[in-house]
Chain A
Amino acid sequence: DTAVSQTPKYLVTQMGNDKSIKCEQNLGHDTMYWYKQDSKKFLKIMFSYNNKELIINETVPNRFSPKSPDKAHLNLHINSLELGDSAVYFCASSPEGQGAKNIQYFGAGTRLSVL
């Protein structure tokens, strides 16, 4: 059973479209994250939620909107997609959002290509 699962794995779309990426974890963790890994492989935090509450909101265009219907799910909706949004998006979860032992587990990633 996959601990952190993301769908879809690949997403190819045109500029200007709106798309969503879904993430679910079955680990019973309280905190979930979205990271973006660009073409240079640099991995950067975008958002985190703790038990459905937004904790981290990095400097991300407001075209990106996370939604957490419950603590096991964190979805990412992207409006008006741009070429620069092409990247791999990783979802992660951890048992606690703070503290010294905040170990995060990553999903397989969603490779988004904007044409």
Chain B
Amino acid sequence: QKEVEQNSGPLSVPEGAIASLNCTYSDRVSQSFFWYRQYSGKSPELIMSIYSNGDKEDGRFTAQLNKASQYVSLLIRDSQPSDSATYLCAPTFYNQGGKLIFGQGTELSVKP
């Protein structure tokens, strides 16, 4: 089992819809969770971080964390074509030197 798993997609949603991106992780003591967005040919950029169970909202983005289920998700409301990118889930675990362990990424395509 991979440490971090995401649906590779592509996930296609119409403009204005809600895009739901999911991530599960292996049974280790998790510390923090990050969602990065990566446009084709560009570097990853941080869009959300979440550290405790529950929801965290930032503009059109909502991160949801459930440590008991080893699950973290990212919801994008009112999806725009400019949201089309690969979304990378990256938790960190205790005693791992702070390294990000990336999932394989979910490619999102928002159709006008």
- Which A residues fall within an 8 A CB radius of B? 31, 33, 40-45, 48, 55-56, 58, 90, 94, 96-109
**Contact, CB under 8 Å: A90 / B43:** yes
**B43 partner residues in chain A, CB cutoff 8 A:** 90, 106-109
**A41 partner residues in chain B, CB cutoff 8 A:** 38, 86, 104-105
**A48 partner residues in chain B, CB cutoff 8 A:** 97-99
For the complex, give the distance between the alpha carbons of A45 and B32 in Å. 17
B34 adjacent to chain A (CB < 8 Å): yes
A-B contact pairs, 30 of them (CB 8 A): A41-B38, A41-B105, A42-B102, A42-B104, A43-B88, A43-B102, A43-B105, A45-B99, A45-B100, A45-B101, A48-B99, A55-B97, A56-B98, A56-B99, A58-B99, A90-B43, A96-B98, A98-B97, A100-B32, A101-B51, A102-B92, A103-B34, A103-B49, A104-B34, A104-B46, A104-B100, A105-B46, A106-B43, A106-B44, A108-B42
Q: What is the size, in residues, of chain B's interface with A at 8 Å between Cβ atoms? A: 22
A96 (CB) vs chain B CBs: closest residue: B98
For the complex, give the distance between the alpha carbons of A33 and B86 in Å. 21
A92 to chain B, nearest CB (A): 8
**Contact, CB under 8 Å: B102 / A103:** no
**B86 partner residues in chain A, CB cutoff 8 A:** 41
B1-45 CB contacts (< 8 Å) to partner A:
31-32, 34, 38, 42-45
**B104 partner residues in chain A, CB cutoff 8 A:** 40-42
